[in-house]
Chain A
């Protein structure tokens, strides 16, 4: 197998607390992410999954270890690692189109190229009818679509998502999950998604890194290989697959064990 796109190599993160104490949020975590794959970081709260994602994004420094993207150590945030947050991050003073063009504009793409790419990705997330609308007039799910289009249009090597659908209602949530499968297929983008939703992780991910809590350690790597090679696009189909229930049970047991700590 070729070298993976991204390697997380024995990464730890300690936070200095007041009174000279330290909190180890992430301890000695290693895994790799293959190009074009979707990787889920799953675990109970306190497992450091968001911290790991923020370190990949360059928004937190590493206490030890290394994160390499295409063999290069990452250093601070950059456009090669786009991030979608749980909280709304739309730039309210810009239209949907200008939001999506933002990254391309600051990175010096030509006006024509920006326009074409913005329209392509806005269409991909299904917001063509709202292209000249201000984000404040959109619903929560639609705003997350803007954030996803804005990040993808900036052509990152990897799309990082920190519980991106956590604030959405159940129906919008699975629509967004199905949208992500479609987007992954259309763009071939590598994705790392942090979630505590077991079903979401199984549905989206090619590989699930299950983390234990206090401190965050890699407990188990789960490959939901009961899924067909071609990603399934709708969620009912997932539930019908033999092997789904078993995988979900297994992860639930892991969650329950972690909860006892």
Chain B
């Protein structure tokens, strides 16, 4: 039996061995090059029906035309506004509720069975009734986005609050803290970074419900534009809409990452 040589040849697939920065860069760019390369190749060779699969160049040109000529910017702003309004509303309810559930088992005992049951009801199944209740204005859309994330957000925040270490709470109590100081000055700041992470995950989900809301019943917003485009076989505009939504999601995700770094400087380069 031979012992392993000190400079064994590196294999491509190595269990839990980090890749070099160069390999990471090449890999991350490479996958997109392959994706767009395949797309361009397929469309230029005429392998696909250009009405169903337009070329990337055409998709990006139609994004430009949508913004330049068709007032698409106002659709985008309306969609962003819906997402942010509904999400802010959900956070306003979920943060106090989740923290209260995590801090007080008596509250958790009441709300947990209720909240976790609602999580299993798909929000889009409420669309018909939301339309009957609220008509076709902004209300049913905001309601759908709200319903889509609120129960997950509450559960995530409650779970994170329950994970605040017992010793931190007991330390506060032996320093003389009562209930409100323990909750507001120890548990809340301890869980805040995780609340922000939960928000970041759930904001992505809000975008999903936005498209559903705007496709089902809307004359404004990115989803409505995509449904209009479908009627005139403008696949390039539909794909443009998808790309714009993806880009917006990415921007908001990065904003959350920056916010996390700004708000919690003590979490950076810790030992």
Contacts and interface: CB of A to CB of B under 8 A. Distances in A.
Interface of A: 57-59, 77-79, 81-83, 85, 87-89, 91-93, 102-103, 106-107, 134-139, 147, 150-151, 154, 160
A171 to B, nearest CB: 17
B85 to A, nearest CB: 29
B167 to A, nearest CB: 5
B175 interface: yes
B271 A102 contact: no
Interface residues of B, number: 24
Contact of B174 (A82, A88, A134, A138): A82
Interface stretch (B87-95, B228-236, B262-270): B262-270
Contacts of A83: 170-171, 174
Contact of A106 (B181, B265, B267, B269): B181
30 contacts: A59-B170, A77-B170, A79-B175, A79-B176, A82-B174, A83-B171, A85-B167, A87-B165, A89-B167, A92-B190, A92-B266, A93-B190, A93-B192, A93-B266, A102-B172, A102-B175, A103-B176, A106-B175, A106-B177, A106-B185, A134-B265, A134-B266, A134-B270, A135-B266, A136-B266, A136-B271, A137-B269, A137-B270, A150-B175, A160-B174
Interface in B169-215: 170-177, 181, 185-186, 189-190, 192
A139 B271 CA distance: 7
A58 B192 CA distance: 28
Interface of B: 165, 167-168, 170-177, 181, 185-186, 189-190, 192, 264-267, 269-271
Contacts of A91: 168, 186, 189-190
Q: Which of A103, A138, A151 has the most CB of B within 10 A?
A: A103
A147 B269 CA distance: 21
Nearest to A160: B174
Nearest to B193: A93
Contact of A77 (B174, B186, B266, B271): B174
A106 B171 contact: no
Closest 4 pairs between A and B when the two form their complex, measured CB to CB: A79-B176, A136-B270, A103-B175, A134-B266
Contacts of B170: 57, 59, 77, 83, 85
A154 B168 contact: no
Contacts of B270: 92, 134, 136-137
Contacts of B173: 58-59, 77
A55 to B, nearest CB: 13
Contacts of B165: 87, 89
B244 to A, nearest CB: 37
